[in-house]
């Protein structure tokens, strides 16, 4: 049975939007190793519609890192959406209709970890429906002040800290499971 693991670059004020605009000064070998460890052995990726549309427009023709492009394009991908009509990116399956039942079936059918990067709305929905198994946060020592936050609604999501590490840059690598 698969576990769904969500990963975020997050600012101290909870902002997760546009990390490309604030997180790079904190990137180092420690963070690279943590990110790579999360991707290693992944059974695939789960994402929401917005992230899918961004990545599907970028990765099929990306020329940045051949190894990473190969992973992104070759990995199984599942997209949770009630509005997307089709998913044409290689190895992508659309989960529609009774999405909760579709995600449960996916978890039962797949072995290993299904990784998520971003998709805050989808992560909140997974938590509310008891479908997220782990939440990894790379908490950056910066308050961004604007942008989408991981938790924007008034819902409560009890979590239990199961792993913590401090990088030389002051970034906290935190792992949580639902309490």
HEC string for 6-35: EEEEEECCCECCCHHHCCHHHCCHHHHHHH
Q: Residue 39: what pLDDT?
A: 79
DSSP per-residue string spanning 63-108: -S-HHHHHHHHHS-EEEE-SS-----STTEEEE-SSHHHHHHHHHH
Q: Could you report the per-residue pLDDT of 121-166, keeping only the tens digit for each?
A: 999 999 999 999 999 999 999 999 999 999 987 889 999 999 999 9
Q: Could you report the per-residue pLDDT of 76-100, keeping only the tens digit for each?
A: 999 999 899 999 999 999 999 999 9
Tokens matching residue 56: 């599907």
Mean pLDDT over all residues of the chain?
Answer: 92
Q: Could you report the per-residue pLDDT of 55-67, keeping only the tens digit for each?
A: 999 988 887 766 7
- Which secondary structure element, helix H or strand E, spans residue 124, and what is its range? helix 120-128
- The boundaries of the domain holding residue 87 are 3-178
Q: CA–CA separation, 14 vs 146, rounded Å?
A: 10
Nearest-CA neighbor of 175 among 37, 79, 50? Answer: 37
Answer yes or no: are the C-beta atoms of 141 and 171 closer than 8 Å: yes
CATH number at residue 28: 3.40.430.10
Give this prediction's pTM: 0.92
Q: CA–CA separation, 52 vs 50, rounded Å?
A: 5
CA dihedral 89, 27, 112, 71 (to 10 degrees): 30
Q: Residue 65: what pLDDT?
A: 65
Q: CA–CA separation, 124 vs 178, rounded Å?
A: 12
Instruction: Give the count of domains, the chain.
Output: 1
Find the mean pLDDT for residues 28-39. 88
């Amino acid at each position: 049975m698969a576990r769904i693991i969500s990963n975020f670059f997050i600012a101290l004020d909870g902002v997760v939007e546009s990390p490309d605009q604030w997180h790079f000064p904190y990137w180092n070998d420690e963070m690279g190793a943590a990110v790579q460890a999360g991707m290693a052995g992944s059974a695939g990726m789960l994402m929401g519609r917005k992230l899918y549309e961004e990545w599907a427009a970028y990765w099929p023709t990306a020329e940045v890192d051949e190894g990473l492009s190969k992973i992104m394009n070759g990995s199984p991908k599942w997209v949770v959406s009630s509005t997307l009509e089709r998913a044409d990116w290689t190895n992508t399956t659309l989960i529609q209709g009774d999405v909760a039942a579709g995600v449960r079936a996916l978890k039962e059918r797949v072995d290993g970890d299904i990784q998520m990067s971003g998709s805050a709305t989808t992560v909140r929905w997974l938590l509310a429906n008891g479908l997220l198994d782990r939440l990894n946060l790379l908490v950056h020592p910066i308050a961004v002040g604007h942008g989408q936050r991981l938790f924007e609604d008034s819902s409560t999501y009890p979590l239990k800290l199961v792993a913590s590490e401090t990088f030389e840059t002051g970034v906290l690598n935190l792992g949580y499971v639902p309490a």
